[in-house]
Amino acid sequence: MITAEEQQLIYKLLTNKIDLDKFYSEYSIDLRQSIDYFYLNLLDSIARENVEQVEVSLDIIEYLYDEEYINKNIDKVYKQLIDKIWVPYYLLERILDSLEVCKGNIKYYLKILHINKFQEQDTENIETFMVPIWKKCLWNLYKVGINNEILGILKQYFDSPYEELNNTAKTLIQKTEFNPLQ
């Protein structure tokens, strides 16, 4: 677990108050020798359902490591987190933003489209927090490439109780060569 002192050091690095050399020299363990320290902490934090520690771990991993390390280790963690009930909407949005827009991630966009972190009757919070996430999913589906399957998914949102989703679905379909609205 990352201590409060270590979190402060991480915060200083992320806000450019210290440089990377100072961070490495002041950290409580030798991070150059323990390359997977933050990754292991991330896995432990997930097992303990500790959202704050998950976020801190993701912050520092995304800062310190290259795309290859993240693709190899962290992408699979993002995908696992989508299914966790305890993951709040803002972390779900961060995960969505971190997923590469590609055909291989369609199933994750679809999963997120079916997640609601609020009670059904809490329409204000749903519109404020979930609808923007769902809109990003619709856009990502569009960016992957329109085919009959994606077109069918977009059409499902014509009858959404949320006007923004209706409008987004209609806009995306109008932008396609398969435009059934013409």
Residue pointed to by tokens 């009757």: 121
pLDDT of residue 134: 97
pLDDT of residue 101: 95
Question: Mean pLDDT, consecutive 10-residue segments, the chain of 182 residues?
Answer: 95 97 96 95 98 97 93 94 96 96 96 93 92 97 93 93 95 77 52
Report the C-alpha gap between 70 and 148 in whole angstroms: 32
Task: Answer whether 99's CB lies under 8 Å from 110's CB.
Answer: no
Report the C-alpha gap between 162 and 79 in whole angstroms: 26
Phi, psi of 173 (to 5 degrees): -65, -40
Task: Answer whether 96's CB lies under 8 Å from 110's CB.
Answer: no
Task: Answer whether 10's CB lies under 8 Å from 2's CB.
Answer: yes
Report the C-alpha gap between 116 and 85 in whole angstroms: 10
pLDDT of residue 92: 97
Token pair listed for 127: 């519109």
CA atoms within 13 A on the CB side of 142: 20
Residue pointed to by tokens 């932008």: 175
Domain coordinates of the chain in residue numbers?
1-85, 88-182
Neighbours of 112 (CB within 10 A): 20
pLDDT of residue 179: 57
Token pair listed for 131: 């609808």
pLDDT of residue 87: 97
Residue pointed to by tokens 């709040």: 88
